[in-house]
Structure formats: C-alpha cells, structure tokens
Structure 1
C-alpha cells in the first residue's frame, strides 16, 4: 500500500501532470500511432504488439479499422476485464507455472538441493516466504521481504527457460535466509540492481498512468477500500499460497487516483483481419483472456503455442525456445498479407532447459 501511495503521489506531484493525466489513456496512444502513420504518408498501418502492445493494437483496430493493415497481437488480455480483474486472474496460472518449475527442479535435486519431489520444492519456497514475512532476507546490501520475493518469483516463472535461474535464485535466497555468507547469483544481482535504480520509480509511474486511466472508472476498476484487498488476499491463500497475496494486493496506485478520464473505455468488437498469438501456459496474461479477445475480433486467427512464455513470436532471436510454425505464420502474413486458413496450435522446439 505504501508503494502504491508513493507512485500516486509522484503522478500528482506537479500541476502540469495533473492537467495531463485525464488525457493519459490508451485511446490517445492509439491516436498518436495514427498520427505517426499519417506523418509517414502511409495509407495504412502494419503493426506488431506484445502484452500491453497487443491490447493497444486491438484498440487501434477498433478506433481506426480502415487504417489497419497487417496487425499482429502477441499475448493479449480480455478487453472487458478491469485491470484489477486481470491481475487477480493471473494467480492460478502463476501457481501452475511454479508447479511446473518445482517438478523440473526436483529432477535436478543433486544440483540445487531444494527438494527431491515437487511438493518438497514447493515447501522450500513457502518456508522462504514465511520466514521473509517475519524477517526480510538480507543479501547484496538489500533487505527483501515476502512481497518483493513474490514479485521476483513472478518475473522468473514467466518463461520456462528461466527454470535454472529461478532454482539458483531460490537456493541463494534460502542460504541467505539461513545466515550463510552468500553473494547474489547473476540473475538475482540483476534484479537487485534494477530494484535499487532511480529509474524504477519512473518506470512504475509511466505504467500507472495507463493502468489507472483505462478500462473504466473508478481508476481501472481498482477498489478504493483497503479491506477489499485484505479479504481477497486471505481468500486466495488456500489455493494460491505463493502468488495469491501478490495478485490480490494493492500493487498499483489506482485506488488513490484523483483524476477521472475524459473518455469512457472503448468496447472491442470488429471484423478487422488480425493475427493473434498466445502461449497456452502464459501466466502473465492468461490464455482465457486471448480467447475472449479472439471471439470479439471475428476476423482474427489465433496461433496457440503450448509453452510457458509471455510472448510467442521471435523467441529464438531472444535466446529462448523458438516456436517455428508461429514464426513462419507471422512472417508469411507480413510478407503476403494472408491470414492462416484456420486457427493453429504450434509445438515449441527443445522445451526442456538444462540445469
């Protein structure tokens, strides 16, 4: 709650910000996109967007359907859900992602020593979190309480290729919590560096203006009563012991938002041809959200990749497991402008990371 209040304070700190905030919306970002198209002298816009960029692309097709050319939406959300609903819906797939990681880690018990069965690995994580709730873990000159540890776990569990890095990080944090003199492993060190960087506050502020300004009022559907968040956290713990407290918490400043948007949220629903991609095990924006958008974009085709990932296209170029049939479909669409004849399900290549 303190972090949310601080982010809200930063947004309202200056008078000029207060004047601009009512106009900080995805609708105006889409208008900016169309202004760029016009400035380039193009009749139509071709576009690839991932995550929020995918939601933004869907909005563009709604606002400027005749200007949309080859539009690709990678990892999108249910356009009818509020921001708080979207956060809460991630809890179950996040726990499933952690289950998959725990199973992998148990197979490499000799390397990481976190448990020889998935339940034992899970118990190690829960013990770490419970202990950090009482006494933050001191490592790398930083003290990490349970909320920050949950956030770190979420960042790692998004991609199956991160399984070794997550196992190394949990091993390091478990040793640090036991009072052993350990140095942060490289992946944890990078996250600690970001956590302590002055840029982090600006990054949070930039995302907040759209998170709180979009998808309805008040403030993107975030409750204003702190008791609501507490009750949701308590209810979530039985089925979502690791991530329930994170996704049900007041993680955004929207409950303290003082500015009402100038326009209502846009309802998505059109026949514009669109190519959609979604990982079935995406635990950042769950698969069901993409299905909801797919039903509303009746001219769309959906390519499903059966992997744990946030983002499908071009994964090989990022050093992750490639999804060749998805890459081919996107490249063919960009080249010729022809959608696949039907929805596709693609297999990833080489999906098991090594320790």
Structure 2
C-alpha cells in the first residue's frame, strides 16, 4: 500500500482494451551464473538508505512476457549482501506493498527496524522498484496533488449524487492515463507480469530458488509468485494479506471493515487521554466525536479540509500507534475551526506543486495494476448500491471504499485471468496477520490460508496497525517468522500470538 496526503498504502479497481486471454507462459530463465553488475545506487536511494550502504544493478525484462522478442525495460534492484558466507542460504526478495511502492531502500529500512542477525546472515536482501515504479521504467498519468484524484481510496460519498460526481472524475482520470501512456507500458503492468519479472531477477541472481517477504499488496505478488513458480519459491512470508493475488471490488471494500476493526484501539487510547484531547471519555464517545466532526466538515469544510479528507486521514493514522497523538491533534484543530492550523495540516499532508512527481508515479502504478489484473463493474448503479450498503454497515469509511474508481472506465481489458492460488506445491508459506489491521483486515489472512491449504500456516497477532513482522513490536510474531526464515520451521498449526 502507498501513502497519499498522509493516507496509507491502499488498493483499487479495472476495465478496458482487448488482448489475448491466453496467459503468457509462467516459464522464466533457469538458474545460471549471476548476470548483474552491482554498483552505487542512485542518490535518492543512497539518502533514504543511509547509514546502510546498498548496491544497485539492473535486470532486463520484456515489456510483454507473452512476446519475449518485444521491447525490453530495465528493472533496478538493490542488494544488501550477507556478510557471513558460511550461513548464507540464498536471496530474500522484498516488496513494501502498493502497488506503486518503491522498494529499493527497503533492505535498509528493515535493518533500521531491527531485522534479526540470523536473517541478515542467511540471505542477500534484494529490494527493487518493480515495473513502472521509480527507477524501473516509471509510468505517469499526469496526476497532481492539487487535482481531483489524490488517493487510491475514492472520496466518501454522502449520497447518490456524490457517486455520480465521482464517476465523472474517475472517467477523466482513466482517459488521462490513456493519453499519457505514450510508451504503451501501462497495459503490461500486472501482478502476473511482475511475478514473471521476479523469476527473471531470480535467474539473473544465479539462484535456483528465492525466498520472499512481502507486505500488504506485496502479499498478492508473493502469492502469485508462489503459485506460478511453486518449485522456485523457497521460504515465503506474506504479512498483512489482502486475501488473493489481486485487488478486486470486494477487497477494496474490506478496507472499511479494517477501519471498523482497528478504530476501537484509537478510541480507547483517546478516551484514556480525554483530559488532554477532549475527544470523549469513553470509546463510544470518541466514535461519536468522529462521526459528528466528519458530518460537520461535509457541510462546512475548514480551510479546504472536508469530511472526506478527515475520514481518509483518520484511516491512514490508524496504520501505526505512534501516529495516534498526531491524529488527536488534527481532530482538535478541526473541531476548533482553526483555519490557519488546518491549512498548515493540509500543507504537511500534501505535496506542493502541480507537476508529475512520485505522487503521480505511485498512483499511476496503483491504478494500472489493479485495473489490469481483473475486470471491475462498469455500471455506476452498481457503485451507488454498494455505497448505500456500506454506508450502513461500515459507517466510518464504507461510503468511500465502495465508491467508483477509474477502473470502471479503464482503457485496457485484462489480458489474462488473475493468477489462481496453487495449493499443490511445497509447504513453505507463512501468513502473518494482525487481528486489527485498518487496511488488510484479518479476514485477508484467513482467505489466503484457505486457498493455500496445507502449503501454509496462519500466524495471527493480537495487535492493531498495518504490518507485523519487524514493522510491529510483537516478540512472538518476530520470533516465529524469523525461525521460519532462518531454520525453515513452519508452525505445525495455525497460531495466535498474544499481545506483546
């Protein structure tokens, strides 16, 4: 998942063109001698990774895997090599989520967050910008932070008219993406093609197999790789699962379920600090404060900060407990109607300027992958009905995540069916899932557990927030996943880690 205006890494929708429905072959290059010339990483990666020093290199892949002789693009990958050859067992590919998240500096981020030495000794950590992202043939829809499309979750629709209005915006954005796709790469951004790229990278590294650690959307990519190349997958850890190898409309709507399940953690925290923040003396009162403030901002925004942005910002701040104080301050400012402070909040939460940027690149990739992976409904009435239903069952965010997206008007139809989970393979998939995750609710882990069947085990963590292994602070989750990566010990049965 990716963050826009302080929002978290979410997921979205599809539609469009023609193309063969015959799947390109899952076969990639076999093991051979390493082919990558390692060197210094780009300056922005060096700065983000500091003080950890990474090496970077490129791997050439076909734009269209169904036509290996077609044009090619270079994918940039990074490496933090094992410093203990006696304990090294292979490569651990990493993905931070999105789709649209840059992962070149991810090895350094995990080191900074305390990735255990056993993993650092056992693996070369491989980060990457997947196709279309950052330093790997970046795509652009020409989106700007001051435009009508600012996040991968649509705006909250207060009524049917709001859905109709959003449909016009969504159609313009889809057309804009088509107009900017001068290189023809956009239609080839799919989870299946990215999984094929992973296998090209594995081969270029000279490895017979690769291990993998993916977060959020990275679980969809990892599930696709483990299903398309089961015998080339080594130890697979999927953390914060979206429930399949792609994001569909049901998956998007599950964000609202996640917010309902994670919001009580913040409400309890805020209620215990009522004397400081004044948001309510009980969790129920904090929830009532949120609903009332959002409705008030729907009618009378404060310096451009409306109810939709409040809901989206609140959702994003539930990703990590360390963000709770900032969220409480934001509510205070908006409740006081302080326009000056609200404008400062907006400037902090959005990028300045009106030119394509990493904001544009991230959202463009998010749209392309989610819209290309699977066909989404085209009828606006379908979204109106979903919005009305989810406004009732998930009042905190449901009328946003059920709203219409550019995928309803996407210029390209899926070129192949989404990758099906393959339960016929090695028993090598560990699913890690917080019980209260705002973006990927626990249901996603249960769904993948059922699909992978005995290939997998589910490690449920009694915690909130997005991301458990290394990114969380639960000792049981850290120890269990590390034991699997280092020693290959998958739990005998599904396990629940108590609160840390």
* Superposition TM-score tier, normalisation by shorter sequence: 0.7 to 0.9
- CA contact 1:7–1:204 (8 Å) conserved in 2: no
1:283 corresponds, among 419, 424, 438, to 438
One of 302, 306, 309 as aligned partner of 2:458: 302
For 1:255, the equivalent position in structure 2 comes to 408
Deviation at 1:183, TM superposition (A): 5.9
Q: Does residue 1:207 correspond to 2:207, yes or no?
A: no
Question: Secondary structure at the residue paired with 2:206?
Answer: coil
Q: Of the candidates 254, 257, 262, which is equivalent to residue 97 of structure 1?
A: 262
Equivalent in 442, 445, 448 of residue 293 of structure 1: 448
Pairing 1:343–2:500 present: no
Once residues 72 and 102 of structure 1 are traced to their aligned partners in structure 2, the CA distance between those partners, rounded to angstroms, is 31
| CA drift at 1:230 | 2.2
- The aligned residue for residue 318 of structure 1 is none
- The whole-number CA distance in structure 1 between the counterparts of 2:352 and 2:381 is 31
Residue 334 of structure 1 aligns with which residue? 485
Shift of 1:82: 5.5
Q: In the TM superposition, what is the alpha-carbon distance from 1:26 to its structure 2 partner?
A: 0.7
Cα distance between partner residues in 2 of 1:160 and 1:196:
32
Please say if residues 57 and 71 of structure 1, whose CA atoms lie closer than 8 Å, have aligned partners that are also in contact: yes
Aligned equivalent of 2:252: 87
Displacement after TM superposition at 1:245 (Å): 1.3
Which secondary structure does the structure 1 equivalent of 2:378 belong to?
Answer: coil
TM-aligned CA deviation for residue 121 of structure 1: 1.9
Q: Deviations over 1:212-259 (max 9, x none)?
A: 111x32xxx3x2122222222223223322211111112x31011011
Gaps of 5+ in 2: 1-165
SS in 2 for 1:152: helix
Deviation string for 1:107-155 (max 9, x for gaps)?
A: 21110011222232222222221122122221xxxx1222222111110
TM-score, with structure 2 as normaliser: 0.62
Aligned partner of 1:152 among 313, 331, 340: 313
Separation in 1, partners of 2:349, 2:272? 26
Would the aligned equivalents of 1:172 and 1:184 in 2 still touch at CA under 8 Å? no
SS of the residue corresponding to residue 16 of structure 1 reads: coil
Alignment-derived partner of residue 19 in structure 2:
none
> 1:171 — aligned with what?
332
Bigger fraction of residues in helix: 1
Determine if the alignment matches structure 1 residue 9 to structure 2 residue 150: no
2:192 equivalent in structure 1: 27
What do residues 272-325 of structure 1 show as CA deviations (whole Å, max 9, x unaligned)?
A: 31111111111211211211111221211221101112111002xxxxx51112
The answer to whether the 8 A contact 1:95-1:242 is kept is yes
Q: 1:265 aligns with which of 386, 410, 418?
A: 418
- Mapped contact 2:262–2:465 kept (Cα < 8 A): no
Say whether the 8 Å CA contact 2:261–2:437 is kept in structure 1: no
- 2:230 is aligned with 1:72: no
Deviates more, 1:90-99 or 1:66-75: 90-99
Residues in 2 aligned to 1:39 and 1:181: alpha-carbon distance in whole angstroms: 54
- Say whether the 8 Å CA contact 1:232–1:248 is kept in structure 2: yes
1:192 aligns with 2:350: yes
SS at structure 1 position matched to 2:287: helix
Report what 1:314 is aligned to: 470
Number of aligned residue pairs: give it: 330
- Looking at structure 2, the residues matched to 80 and 192 of structure 1 have their Cα atoms a distance apart, in angstroms, of 30
> Which secondary structure does the structure 2 equivalent of 1:209 belong to?
helix
Summarize the alignment of residues 237-256 of structure 1 with structure 2, pairs less than 5 Å apart. 237-250=391-404, 252-256=405-409
- The 3-state SS of whatever aligns with 1:144 is coil
Indicate the RMSD between aligned Cα atoms, in angstroms.
2.4
1:329 counterpart SS class: helix
Q: Secondary structure at the match of 1:136?
A: coil
Partner secondary structure for residue 185 of structure 2? helix
2:381 match = 227
Q: Secondary structure at the match of 1:306?
A: strand
Q: 1:195 to 1:152 in 2, by over 3 A?
A: farther
Counterpart in 1 of 2:277?
Answer: 112
CA distance in 1 between counterparts of 2:461 and 2:386 reads 31
In 2, the alpha carbon distance for the partners of 1:179 and 1:134 equals: 16
